[in-house]
Amino acid sequence: MPSQPPLAGDVRQIAAGTVSFNIAPGETRSFEAATLAADRGASPPPTAAVSWTVAWRATDSLTSAWYRQGSRTEIGKGRWGTADMGGVGFELRNDTRATIYGELSFLIGSR
């Protein structure tokens, strides 16, 4: 797993964890800070106050992106990666012909 990016010094951590995933060929897996925080028993902050980071790795290359309100920005492509985000969602897309397995660790905070 690549090193987990830290939250900024002015951000209070509210949730952390790791999730395993599998993504079928041609499919996308989306991750939302609010859902991940709620799954860990934390009250998610308002979108404008969210700060979160992810580190992920997979058995084959995936395309990573962040998204918000219909807008999508590709971050990169590879077997591992990291991202530092605000009030956006994060996604991994499988453009291969085989199911890909991996894990994603996250830190979620509130400003």
Report pLDDT digits (tens) over 65-101.
999 988 999 999 999 999 999 999 999 999 999 999 9
Report pLDDT digits (tens) over 19-50.
999 999 999 999 999 999 999 999 988 888 99
Separation CA 101–CA 24 (nearest Å): 9
Helix or strand holding residue 78 (H, E): strand 71-85
Name the amino acid, one letter, at 12.
R
pLDDT grade, residue 12 (50/70/90)?
A: very high
Strand partners of residue 106: 17, 54
Tally of CB atoms within 10 A around 43: 10
Q: Following DSSP, what letter does each residue of 24-68 receive, concatenated?
A: -TT-EEEE-HHHHHHHTTPPPPPGGGEEEEEEEEEEEEEEEEEEE
* Phi and psi, residue 35, nearest 5°: -70, -45
Separation CA 37–CA 54 (nearest Å): 13
Which two three-digit tokens encode residue 90?
Answer: 């994060």
